[in-house]
Amino acid sequence: MNQELKNRKSNIRNLFDEYGVDAILLACNMSLLYVSGRIISGYIYLSRDADMMFVKRPNNLKGDGIYSIRKPEQIQEILTQAGIPAPATLALEADELTYSEYTRLAACFPNSKILPAATQIIHRARTIKSALELDIFRRTGLAHTKAYNRIPSLFRPGMTDVELSIEIEHAMRQEGMLGQIRIFGQSMELFMGSLLAGDNAAAPSPYDFALGGAGTDASLPVGANGTPLLEGHSLMVDIGGNLNGYLSDMSRTYSVGRLPDEAYAAHEACLAVQKAFEENARPGVIAQDLYQMALEIVTKAGFADYFMGTVQKAGFIGHGIGLELNEQPVFAPRSKTRLECGMVFALEPKIVLPGIGPVGTENSWIVNSDKLEKITLCPDEIIDL
């Protein structure tokens, strides 16, 4: 792991010239986890030559380059004592820090020019996963698959969506999942995921997920809402996996008894999108072109009006995953990102049919040099509970 962390820091430093910075000060959890391999309350300072961790909590960390502090104003004093000059230009995480946090950290470096570029730098570095990270993804996907394979045995007639969701969440924890789904983006909140049944799948949500759901309370308006799981209706399980900090994303569609024929036709349209991605998504391909390809497939099948929602439609069909959901790439109408070897993403073509419910699938994929590698391996067809 030590060499892995050294490589990550090198990847960050390699971006300094492009963004015009001499050093970076990190304070947000996922940045700290990526660079140090653990969560701390504190800061990591990286310059072209220096590598220092300033820790408020926990108070038991020791080692070279680790300094115990009470407040960030001590950072500049410690750098001076170590003979490290203040950087000419310092990057901070403007996309995630609060205004007060940002201005306080900036004031700790009165002789440095402060740039709001640290979030972009870290996210660029995190976009291409290392061999170690990809191995973690594969293990997470396998554990995720094991839990989902248990879903048919967890269903009992007369259940509500909330009751089945609780059983699935229990199974996920039994398979080693941490139960924490981290999401990049303002006010993005979720528990372990969602189970959407019947028309609740069309309920608009304030969160920028593929599908919403009303939830059980206005304080967390997303996901299951107590809908009975009735015959002739579909339900979609979208519970996220997190085994060792890295996320896998998988959705599967289930039915209670036979669904109308329209549901199976719509599901096949979603699987056709997935197959087209498998055949066409390669390094160098632009994300918006793949989005347009998917839209054409669904439109030709006659389901464009129900694709990615009805009342409120999602503006994407897939997103990058890593330590958080909503990393790069994003498959959306104006996304110019080119796929690169080592990217990991979730593809989630979904259709919501009024009076029936959601159909479609979601899987997590690794971009290899010659093909996509699927790491969530449950059967993709609609499963009758």
> Which structure tokens are listed for 200?
């609740």
pTM of this structure: 0.95
Q: What 3 state SS string does 209-226 have?
A: CCCCCCCCCCCCCCCCCC
Position 187 scores a pLDDT of: 80
- The CATH fold assigned to 128-384 is Creatine Amidinohydrolase (3.90.230)
Tell me the pLDDT tens digit for each residue of 123-178.
999 999 999 999 999 999 999 999 999 999 999 999 999 999 999 999 999 999 99
Residue ranges of the chain assigned to CATH 3.90.230.10? 128-384
Position 371 scores a pLDDT of: 96
DSSP 62: -
CA distance 121 to 99: 19
Q: Where are the alpha helices (DSSP H) in the chain?
A: 2-13, 16-19, 29-36, 74-81, 99-107, 118-127, 131-148, 151-154, 161-174, 261-280, 287-301
Residue ranges of the chain assigned to CATH 3.40.350.10? 2-126
Position 186 scores a pLDDT of: 80
Long-range contact set of residues 365-370: C-beta below 8 Å, sequence gap at least 24: 365/277, 365/281, 366/129, 366/134, 366/137, 366/138, 366/342, 367/281, 367/282, 367/283, 367/339, 367/340, 367/341, 367/342, 367/343, 368/341, 369/283, 369/341, 370/282
DSSP 382: -
Of the candidates 335, 259, 273, the one whose C-alpha atom is nearest the C-alpha of residue 303 is 273
Position 185 scores a pLDDT of: 85
Position 80 scores a pLDDT of: 94
Position 142 scores a pLDDT of: 98
Axis crossing angle, helix 118-127 with helix 2-13, rounded to the nearest 10: 130
Please report, in tens digits, the pLDDT of each residue of the chain (385 residues total).
Answer: 799 999 999 999 999 999 999 999 999 999 999 999 999 999 999 999 999 999 999 989 998 999 999 999 999 999 999 999 999 999 999 999 999 999 999 999 999 999 999 999 999 999 999 999 999 999 999 999 999 999 999 999 999 999 999 999 999 999 999 999 999 988 889 899 999 999 999 999 999 999 999 999 999 999 999 999 999 999 999 999 999 999 999 999 999 999 999 999 999 999 999 999 999 999 999 999 999 999 999 999 999 999 999 989 999 999 999 999 999 999 999 999 999 999 999 999 999 999 999 999 999 999 999 999 999 999 999 999 9
Give the right CATH number for 2-126 from 3.40.350.10, 3.30.300.30, 3.55.50.30, 3.40.50.10800. 3.40.350.10
